[in-house]
Structure formats: structure tokens, C-alpha cells
Copies of this chain bind each other. A is one copy, B any other.
Amino acid sequence: MSKINSAEQSTVDWSKGAAYLDGAFMPISEARVPVTDWAYRRSDAVYDVVSVFDGQFFRLDDHLARFRRSIERYRFTPKETDAEIRHILHRIMALSGLRSAYVAMDCLRGQASLGVRVPSKARNYIACYAAPFTSLVPDEHLARGLKLAISTIPRIPHESVDATAKNFHWGDMNMAMFEAEDRGADFPVLLDLKGNLTEGPGFNVFIVTDGIVATPDYNMLEGVSRLSVLELCRELGIDVQIRPISAQEVRDADEIFVTSTAGGVIGASRIDGRIMNNDRPGPVSEELRETYWTKRKNGWHGEPVQYDAA
């Protein structure tokens, strides 16, 4: 666990972030995946992302547990234990010195010897990095609210690729982002093949109708921020439904908000060009956003970074 590039003690600039890759620590710019690695070449990898604010990890236990479930779901066998991954994350935060960060942990398939094509024969490995935190949206978009568009491209179905195990199969999302930009929106939201709401690129989606909050139950990542909002709704006495949501319900909603490790709760002001709430995030979205951030500033589900981790 203590192997590190010789550069560590010298004048290397860690401010852009620090990484761990297959046993070694290094500046983020040095963390690279072989072009022949199946993690890239077959998108055969799983990952998770945890945020750090003000020197505190948010729900690190939950992210580590989900990461392990993703690893097992896709039959990876990395050598690192959960305790070791936790230590790596503290260490890369310590190396970076960042107070707020986007902290990723990946498990990569690797590759077997030349000519062997069976994934079970590859040696899997872990890569992690801590980069400066960036929100899903710039601050000015938080105030004006997200412009969302319902994509014409259906989300990859759960039956083909299980989205509850966090993975890089974003081909649908990638093209939906181009489509949203073409239509003047900030982000797309994707439907499943039956026309029900799933998720967007990097976030879960909630609607608010007649004061009742609802979010999908299927074909999407079970987000840690989503879970946090479900807890907040219970605390605040807001009714929540977890159920299939049709595209029409999304189009007709009083409010829409999204949840993401990259920003917590973010309200929308437009859906497919329709203006909601006077072109601003709605009141339920704002209450949840404010409560989320107030609680986080007070250490909710926090784990202090060990800035002396070695």
C-alpha cells in the first residue's frame, strides 16, 4: 500500500489531483489506462464517486458498499479490501491537499495474455483519483434552474447492462447530451423502452406534483444522493413515491429536480422548453437543496479526511 512514485517528496504539483493505480500513488496526470486494457476496450469496469466538502467525505461507507456490490455484480476480483480502498482514498486526498474534491474509485478488468479473450483470465485492479470538486452545473445555473429535455434515445435496458452496478456504458447518455445541446437544454433525461423515466447523465431525477415527490424505481443507478433526499423527505414530512413515472408526468410536473454526488440537489426550471415556477427552481426543490447543504455543513454522514494518511 505504501508504494509511491519517487516524485512524491520532490516538487511535483499535486494540486490538480492525486491518483492511485494498481498499487502505486502518482499525480492524477500520470494515471493512465493501457489502450489495450479491456476496461477501456470493452468498457469492462465499474466505479463509484464520493464527494469531499470542507475536508469531509460524504457517506463514504455507502459508496464503498455500493462499489463492492458493483465489483461483485460484474465478477471482478481486485486484491484490495474495502479497508484498503478506504485508506487509499484518504491517502490520495492527503496527497492532493484538496479541501473539496470529486473522488473516484474504479475497478478495471485488465487483460489476459495475448490471444486469450476470456475475461475470467484477466488480472483485475483498482484505480482511484481525487480531483478538485466541480458541480454538475455552474453556480449561475443553480439559481436559474436546469433546462432539461426528454431524450428520444432510450436508456440501455437493465436486462442488457445492470445500471445499479455503476458502469461506463454512457453511449445513450453521450448522444442524448448532444441532442439536449441541439435543443438548447443543459441536460437530457432518458426514458426506458416503455417510455418511463430512468435517469440522466450522472444524476437521478425527481418530480414534484401536488406536493408529492416521486422518483423511478427501475433501470437507473440507486444514487447515494437520491437515498439522501429520500431520507430528507421523511425528515421534512414530504410524501415520497418510488414508482414508474411516465414521460407525460415528467412533462406535466410542478417541479423537477435532480440529485448527484456532483452537487447534491439541483432544481430545474424548464422541461422540453416549458417554463416551470417562473423560470426558477421550485419551492420543494429549494427546501431540499438548502436542507441538504445545511446538514452537510454540519457534518451529516461525514467522515473527516485523514490529511496525515501515509
User: Which A residues fall within an 8 A CB radius of B?
Assistant: 19, 21, 28-29, 31-36, 38-45, 74-75, 104, 106, 109, 114-115, 117-120, 127, 129, 131-132, 134-136, 138, 153-157, 159-161, 167-175, 177-178, 181, 193, 201-202
Contact = CB atoms under 8 A, between A and B. Distances in A.
A308 to B, nearest CB: 25
Given A136-B117, A177-B118, A34 B35 contact: no
A171 B161 contact: yes
A152 to B, nearest CB: 9
Contact of A43 (B21, B160, B169): B169
Nearest to A28: B36
Given A29-B34, A32-B33, 15 more contacts: A28-B35, A31-B35, A31-B36, A35-B127, A42-B201, A74-B171, A75-B178, A109-B174, A115-B134, A118-B181, A120-B177, A120-B181, A154-B160, A157-B160, A160-B160
B42 A168 contact: yes
Nearest to A44: B174
Contacts of A177: 117-120
A104 B37 CA distance: 13
A153 to B, nearest CB: 7
6 contacts: A33-B34, A35-B127, A117-B202, A120-B181, A156-B157, A156-B161
A132 B109 CA distance: 21
Contacts of A129: 35-36
A114 B131 contact: yes
A227 to B, nearest CB: 23
Contact of A170 (B44, B159, B173): B44
B174 A42 contact: yes
B181 A42 contact: no
A114 B138 CA distance: 11
Given A156-B156, A181-B118, A33 B42 contact: no
A138 B120 contact: no
A45 B35 CA distance: 12
Given A35-B127, A127-B35, A74 B174 contact: yes
Given A160-B172, A178-B75, A201-B117, A34 B36 contact: no
A171 B178 contact: no
Nearest to A132: B114
Contacts of A34: 29, 31-33
Contacts of A42: 168, 170, 173-174, 201
A35 to B, nearest CB: 4
Contact of A168 (B31, B43, B75, B202): B43
Contacts of A136: 117
